[in-house]
């Protein structure tokens, strides 16, 4: 039997002491063959095939013409989680109101795993496209919203988050 878990930016599945971590890259549309995946994770084809099949049956990977890619099912999962978020439910109407009043882009981000994740964005008439789109992930220190979040953290939590940043960030 295989177990499934999300590990940082990978999908991990394990069985009989072997763990397969499939990277979730920035290029979700990229598809790879079994040979390419086994080369990337340094495991044999037989060790990789069953976990990939399990992830495919779970709807997390799609196989087309012997190539695997991350499934769009993540959109469904993410939208469900977002829609249940009190932050999203409580802020969406206000974000729309602000965008309408100022005719600019407005949005709301959540702080998770030391990063900001855009939950919702909308634009007024003077803006064609918001700088962030739903689902965009930004390092917490790299946006005004993230800096506002950092300003609210307790000193110990702020120190922990700042320690996780890359030195050149």
Neighbours of 153 (CB within 10 A): 15
Q: In what order do the strands lie in the sheet with 137-139?
A: 106-112, 115-122, 137-139
One domain, residues 128 and 57:
no
Q: What token pair was written down for 18?
A: 């072997």
In tens, the pLDDT along 5-37 reads 333 455 555 555 556 665 555 444 578 888 888
**Does the reported pTM lie above 0.75?**
no
So what's the pLDDT on residue 27? 46
Average pLDDT over residues 63-68: 89
CA dist., res. 6 & res. 119, Å (int)? 20
Q: What is the mean pLDDT of the chain?
A: 83
Range name among 33-47, 60-74, 93-107 with the lowest pLDDT average = 33-47
Domain count, the chain: 2
One domain, residues 92 and 134:
yes
So what's the pLDDT on residue 84? 96
Strands 67-70, 32-33: pairing kind: antiparallel
Identify the H or E element spanning 99.
helix 86-102
One domain, residues 83 and 49:
no
More confident residue, 43 or 117: 117
- The model's confidence at residue 90, banded by pLDDT at 50, 70 and 90, is very high
In tens, the pLDDT along 105-152 reads 999 999 998 999 999 999 988 988 889 999 999 999 999 999 999 999
So what's the pLDDT on residue 89? 97
So what's the pLDDT on residue 26? 46
So what's the pLDDT on residue 8? 43
3-state secondary structure 55-71: HHHCCCEEEECCEEEEC
Is 129:123 a contact under the CB 8 Å cutoff?
Answer: yes
One domain, residues 90 and 63:
no
Domain-terminating residue out of 56, 71, 86: 71
Q: Side-chain half-sphere of 72: how many Cα atoms within 13 Å?
A: 0
One domain, residues 156 and 132:
yes
- Which of 23, 11, 9 is closest to 51 using CA atoms? 11
Please give the residue range of the domain that contains residue 119. Answer: 77-164
One domain, residues 108 and 49:
no
Q: Where are the beta strands (DSSP E) in the chain?
A: 3-7, 10-15, 18-23, 32-33, 61-64, 67-70, 106-112, 115-122, 137-139
């Amino acid at each position: 039997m295989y177990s499934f878990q999300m590990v940082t930016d990978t999908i991990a599945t394990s069985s009989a002491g072997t763990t397969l971590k499939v990277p979730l890259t920035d290029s979700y549309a990229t598809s790879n063959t079994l040979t390419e995946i086994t080369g990337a994770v340094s495991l044999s084809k037989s060790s990789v095939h069953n976990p990939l099949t399990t992830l495919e049956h779970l709807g997390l990977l799609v196989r087309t013409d012997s190539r695997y890619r991350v499934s769009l099912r993540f959109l469904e999962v993410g939208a469900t989680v977002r829609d249940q978020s009190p932050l999203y439910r409580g802020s969406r109407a206000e974000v729309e109101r602000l965008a309408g009043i100022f005719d600019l882009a407005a949005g709301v981000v959540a702080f998770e795993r030391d990063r900001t994740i855009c939950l919702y964005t909308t634009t007024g008439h003077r803006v064609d496209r918001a700088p962030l789109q739903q689902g965009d992930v930004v390092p917490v220190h790299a946006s005004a919203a993230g800096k506002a979040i950092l300003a609210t953290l307790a000193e110990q939590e702020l120190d922990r988050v700042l320690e996780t940043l890359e030195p050149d960030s």
